Amino acid sequence: MTTNERHYPPRNKKLSLKFKSRMKERYTKEQLEQIIYYQLEHINALNDLVQAIKDQNELIEQVNKRLKKKLLNEKLKLYPKLTRK
């Protein structure tokens, strides 16, 4: 398949013009530092969320292990089968 035969999704002209005008925009050093600072804040917030999820997973695994041990140690109760009359 050549590049001419590939089918690309239609472009949104408004978005592409907005993107092109953004690309032409120049940023000062202070603006770039502020952008990077905000990105770092977001990365740190995501890292905190990931750590919280890891902690929750560890707790869930511990509870599952305890439940498995408890179920294995208990005798299984056999219930009588109900028959239709």
pLDDT, tens digit, 9 for 90 and up, residues 58-71? 999 999 999 888 88
| Domain boundaries, position 53 | 27-71
| More confidently predicted of 37 and 73 | 37
Q: Tally DSSP H helices, then E strands, for the chain.
A: 2, 0
The count of structural domains within the chain is: 1
- What pLDDT is attached to residue 69? 86
Residues 52, 56, 60: CA angle, nearest 5 degrees: 170
- What pLDDT is attached to residue 84? 76
- What pLDDT is attached to residue 46? 96
Residue 82 in any domain: the answer is: no
